[in-house]
Amino acid sequence: MSTSKNLITIIANWKMNPGSFKEADNLIKNIKNGIKKSENVNVVICPPAVYLSKIKTNAKFELGIQNIFWENRGAYTGEISAKMAKNLGASYVIIGHSERRIYLRETDEMINLKIKSALENNLVSILCIGETLDEKKKDKTSEVIVGQLEKALNNISSFQFPVSSFQIAYEPIWAIGTGITPAVDEIMGVALLIRKVIAKLYNRETAEKISILYGGSVDSGNAYDFVRKANTNGLLIGGTSLNASEFARIAGLFG
C-alpha cells in the first residue's frame, strides 16, 4: 500500500449488509462501474466475511474484513483468524469498531491482541477510535482518544509497526448513523492529537506519515471538507457505502 500523502483512502464498511450474495454482487458491480480508476484514490471494500471470496472475482478494489480473532487457529467457535482473512483475499481489517465495543463488549486489550495478529499476518489494520456523546459533553474527547490509542498499541514496538500497515479512523460514536457530524475544526483537532500521541509512542516521522481517516455520517455533501479542510487522509464510510452511486460520487471527489 502506498504511503503517499496525496493518496486518499476511501473504505466501505458494509457491516451486516446486504442480505444475500446476489445483492452483494450487484452492489460491487455497480460500485465498480461508477468509480473511475485514479492514482489518487485507494478504494477498499469491507463486506461481510461470507461474501469475501466471491466478491473478489468481480471487485477491482482491495478488500478488507470487518473483524478478526487474535489467534491463527484453535477452539474459537464462530471466529475468523487474520490468516484465514488473508487467504480469503483480504488486505485490510477493521479493528475496534464502536459497534463491536458496545454490542460485543470488545475491550482495548482484545483490540491490542487483534492488531498484533493483523501485523503478524500482513493485514493493514484500520483502528477505530472515538468518544460517546456523554464523553463529548463532559469534555473527555481527548482523554478517550489518548487512552484508546495507548491501550491499543501497548507493547507494539516501532519495529512491529510499519506505517504502511496501520491506519487510524476517528469515528465519534455520536456521529455514526445519526446524521450529526463534528465541525471540521473538531476533526482537525483530533487528527492533530492522534499524531501527537503517535509521535510520543514512536517518533515524529511515523506520526507525520500515519494515515488518519474520518468516519460518521459521511455523504457526498460533507466528504470533501472532512478530508481536504480537516486535513485527513480518507474516509471510513458505513451506511452510505451501500448506495453505489453515492459511494462512487464520494470517491470521485478526490480522483
Q: Does residue 208 have an active-site annotation?
A: no
Do the Cβ atoms of 205 and 164 come closer than 8 Å? no
The set of residues, in sequence order, having a beta carbon less than 8 Å from that of 220 and lying 6+ positions away, is 246, 249, 250, 253
Count CB neighbours of 164 within 10 A: 12
Considering the candidates 62, 106, 131, 171, report the single residue annotated as catalytic: 171
- Contact criterion met (CB below 8 Å) for 232 and 212: yes
Residue 154 carries which side chain, given as an amino acid letter? N
Instruction: Identify whether the C-beta of residue 220 lies closer than 8 Å to the C-beta of residue 250.
Output: yes
- 97 part of the active site: yes
Catalytically annotated residue among 62, 97, 131, 246: 97
CA distance 21 to 17: 10
Considering only CA atoms, which of 10, 14, 7, 42 is closest in space to residue 28? Answer: 14
CA R_g for the chain: 17
195 contacts 202 by C-beta, under 8 angstroms: no
Active site residues: 97, 171
